[in-house]
Structure formats: C-alpha cells, structure tokens
Chains A and B, each alone.
Chain A
C-alpha cells in the first residue's frame, strides 16, 4: 500500500474537474444536466465513465474539451485544470490545449470526418497542427506510417478515398490515426465502438490500448457498456441523472459494487445461460431530467429506499480504498 501512496504523490493529476455543473436552457425551464461532477485523471490512467442515456456522460466530455454548445448549455459552476493549468473558467489563448493536449474520438466517425476532403487531406491537416515544422516529404511519410500503425493494410488506396467510401471500422481507424499524429496527452473516447461489429470492436479497442502505451497518454472512456469498461479501464465513474453516484478502481467496483444502481447495472448484463434464472433488475426507467424526484434521483427504482432518500440528496463519501459512493446506505 505504501508504494501506491508514494506513486500518487509523485504523479500530479493530468485532468482535474471540480464541481462541474451544467444546465440547458429550454423554453420554460432550466434543466440541470451535470450537477457537481468531479473527475480526476492521473497520467497514464484509463478512466471510464459509465451510465445510461441521459446520465450526462457526453456533456461531461464536451465540457472538458470546451465544445459545448453555449447557449443552450451553460456551465454555471466548477473549474477544470489540465496539466496544472486552468482551462476553465479562465482560459489563456496561448495555452491551446486542444489537439496536442486533449483530443477526442467521437462515436460516429462519419460525422466527425469531413465528407468533402479525402483521407489524405484530413490527415495532412491534423499533421500540420501536430507537427507544424515538418517538411513536405517527411509529412507524407509520417502520414503513411501512422496509417500503417492503425492496421490499415492498403494505405495507398485509403489515402485517396473519401470517408463515405470506407467501412465503419476503417473510418474509426482513420479518425484514430488523425488523433494519433498529434500525440495527445489525454484522449477522450466517446462510445468509440458502439455500432461496430464484435470482431472489429475488439480490434479497435486492442489497437487503442496498445497505442496508448506507445504514445503514453491517458484515456477517458465514455461508454454505456459495463463489460467494455471492465476490459479497458483502471478506474471508473458511474453516473446517474447527471451525478457521479460511485467511483473506484474498476476491479473493486465490479467485484463489490456499492451503489444499488451500480449493482443493477452489473446485473443487467446477461452472463450465464438461460437456465440461471431471471436477471435481477428493478422496474422503472432512467429519470426525466426535467422532472427529477426529490432526494436521491435513483429512489423510485431503488430496492433499499429509506425515508431519508426521498428528501435529501446524498453526497459522495469515501469508503475503503479509492472507492466513493453517494448513497444513504453507507453513512
């Protein structure tokens, strides 16, 4: 345990998000999408953010790299530090963190790649940002080399093709390659493999992890799939209705989930054969953020609901080790 403590001191946090609160203005109401979310990523760590639709996972990612649509969204509270420098609320234009600092791979590569530029031209643009001093011949070589690294065999063929002509797995590879040439310190992956076939998904995830070692970056993985997170992440944050309800080391959370929502999420993934009884899930649906119940947002679905849960919102409290949980069961 001593060695872990020592390591924590030596490595400052790469990303430090504190009490981030985001709301969206609608015609008649202000809807809180993120409420007091704090996330820490250390150097070299793979951190997962797991939650169902409407839990605020993507909003968190967009606020970190600062591309949230303002309005309707508005960040009302919180600070974001990246590599020791403040990037929100105040932000120095000279200290541009996007690209070489933080970079993002989106869920749907077809919308994140530009349809009117060929793969070569888009790669060149990325290289110009990442390595502005590189000579022309060197640049060409670098582009080809990077495409090979993401396991594209027919490099020459892919270079002159437009994004719509590629298959889903190939497109995602190209967008990984574009990120790779900039060697970011922090890579945000927003559901990078949703909608891809199983074998392709496995390959892309294996690829991302091996490249992570190579360029020694950290990863923030946003996903709804606990099984994917279990295979990729060191640490995980579980989100529900805009709040972090549990966080901790991935292995601990899987072995011993604390929050009733995390338990339900784990039980929702079918693992055994049909003979092994029904899946243990409670009824109900993820809440409508416009009409959240008072107290803990999970209380209508929670099997262990107490009186206190109906009135007071639980705060994140540290439990054993690194795990934290926001639930009145663990007072």
Chain B
C-alpha cells in the first residue's frame, strides 16, 4: 500500500444566508452547512468518484479543494504536507498541486485569449521561460490532449465543445499537476464526444500516473472511470467503497435507489421502485424521509460512519460495524 497523495479529513463548508426582511442585523445571519465532515483519501494513479444529485455539494467540494472556497475546519494533506487555509503560501501550494476542469467550458476559458495563451496560463513559472521554452511546453501539453496544433492560435468561441474541454485539460496538465479535480467534465458534450474525452482521460492517467477526483451525476460514467466511489447526499457521504461493490452490492438505501434508477441497455422493469422522496431530514438520519427501510432507530440520532474500506452511514448496518 503506497502513501495517499491526498488526504482530506472532516471537510466542512458552510455558506452565510440571509433569511427575513426587517430583522435585527444580528439575527439576519444564518449559516447553511453545504458539506458536513467529508473525509477521504486518494492514492497516486487512482480515480476517486463522487456521485450526487443536484444540491448535494459536489461542485462546492471541487471548488474547496482548489482553494476557491474556504472550509470552516478541516485537515487536508497533500503528499503528507498539511495545508492551513489561513496561510496564503499554503493555499498557493494547494493550487500548484491540484488542478481543476470545470463543467462549463465556455465560462472557464477567457474568450479574449488565444488557445496557446490559455494553456500558458497554467504554466507555474511563466515569467522565467524564454519564448521557445514556453512554446515547447504549450505544444507538448496540447499534444497530450490530442489538440491539433492548427487550433493553437484560434480563440475559444471558434472551438467545439470537446475541443474546449481539451484546452481546459491542457491548461491544467501544462502546470504538471498530479491531482485533477474533474467537475462534470463531459456532461455538456454529445455522447460520442463524451466517449472520446473519457478515453483520453484514461490514457492520460496511465501515461502520467495522475490521480483524478471525478465528480459526476452519471452513474454509467462513474462505473467506467472510477476505482472507488463516494455517494454524496445533501453534504454528507452516505456510502463509500469500491466501484464494483457500490454497483453490485449497494448497501445504503439511497445508493440502492440511485443504482436502480440508472438507465442502461440491460435495465428493465420501469414501473418498480417508484416511491415518494421527501426533503432531507434535520434530525436523525438525513435520508429518513425518502427511505423505504426506515425504522425506529433512524428517528433519533444520525448514524455513524465506519472507518473500514467499504463503509456505509446507515443504521441498518449497525451490527456489522460492531463486528468489524
């Protein structure tokens, strides 16, 4: 077992919300917890999937990992080095090591820069390079993502969706980053283009031995891309485990619902599994309002999360946790 390249412990992010009009200023402020004590670790060359529906905090997690949002409290270790979000150098160190590819390729590329300038943005020591060295690095990065050299002098609006996503990826890879956060990298693309990008990502992983944090809502993509998966529901990890474990033996009722709801060529029996879902609960288990297997224990306290490799946050597996 090699040393994890990224360790995250108790990551909590909360946003300030304002509620009602005409209230004293002190009462105006309320905090909404978007991510609640998320812990995971990633080894080198591993793809870690994060699955969740709208509002589960997937994108917030991605943005926190590259230092866009500040977490309330957490321990993040990169290659064993502890990151303190209050120190500017540490945040810079974080950004030098973790790259991100956003969902929306239109919004993440500056329309006034050429493709080669955008890729150069990712170079960490741009100022010290000579023109030739810079050009060489840009070319090797664009070669990695199979972007034709003729496109280097065009502007983002002239590119297709798949090409834009390749540019995004090249910008991250040019900096030599070892951990890539991919936030729904293919959800705005056509299926055949999505398949091309997925193939490219897999090839790159083998070639450069980088790690991915793959965030998506598409279970087919997760199954195909990831080694381990974590299921997020309204800011909480409900289940974590190996991809095959999650898909073949889903433990948590929510994971079970998700896997059953997924469309594939072989799935059948559409009318089954239609039960009402409710709002996430504030007391007890967060999923209890939508859960089919709800019982007394779920009402009182939120279930605890085991530390074993395959772990699940559900009272149904209370006995198993004790044994192990």
Chain A residues engaging chain B, CB cutoff 8 angstroms: 52-53, 151, 153, 168, 197-199, 201-203, 205-207, 209-210, 224-228, 230-232, 254, 264-274, 278-279, 281, 283, 285-286
Residues in A neighbouring B243, C-beta threshold 8 A: 273-274
Interface contact B261-A270, CB-CB below 8 Å: no
Minimum CB–CB distance for A157 against chain B, Å: 13
B74 within 8 A of A: no
User: How far, in angstroms, from A225 to B220 measured CA to CA in the complex?
Assistant: 12
**Which B228-284 residues sit within 8 Å CB-CB of chain A?**
243-244, 257-258, 260-268, 270-271, 273-274, 276-277
Judge if B198 is at the interface, Cβ distance under 8 Å. Answer: yes
With A52-B190, A227-B263, A273-B244 known as contacts, the answer to whether A197 contacts B54 (CB < 8 A) is yes
Measured CB to CB, the closest approach of chain B to A212, in angstroms, equals 11
Chain A interface mostly:
helix
Q: A268-B195, A281-B199 are known contacts. Are A274 and B53 too (CB-CB below 8 A)?
A: no
B51, closest chain A residue (CB): A198
Q: At the interface, yes or no: B196 with Cβ under 8 Å from chain A?
A: yes
Q: Is A273's CB under 8 angstroms from B223's CB? A: yes
Judging by beta carbons under 8 Å apart, are B257 and A153 in contact? no
* A270-B220 contact given A279-B195, A279-B198, CB 8 Å threshold: yes
With contact pairs A197-B53, A230-B263 given, residues A270 and B224 touching in the complex (Cβ less than 8 Å): yes
Q: Number of B interface residues at 8 Å Cβ cutoff, please give it.
A: 44
B217 interfacial contact with A, CB 8 Å:
yes
Rounded to whole Å, the gap between the CB of A205 and the closest CB of chain B is 7
List residues of chain B with CB within 8 A of the CB of A283: 196
Let me know if A206 and B274 touch, CB within 8 A.
yes
Is B307 close to A, CB under 8 A?
Answer: no
Let me know if B312 is at the binding interface, CB within 8 A: no
Beta-carbon contact of B244 and A206 below 8 Å: no
- State how many angstroms separate the Cβ of A266 from the closest Cβ of chain B: 8
Contact indicator B190/A227 (Cβ below 8 Å): no
Q: Is the CB of B263 within 8 A of A281?
A: no
Known A-B contacts A198-B53, A285-B160; the reply to A274 vs B263 at CB < 8 A is no
Asked whether any CB of chain A lies closer than 8 Å to the CB of B202, the reply is yes
5 CB contacts below 8 A, A to B, read A197-B53, A210-B271, A230-B263, A273-B223, A285-B160
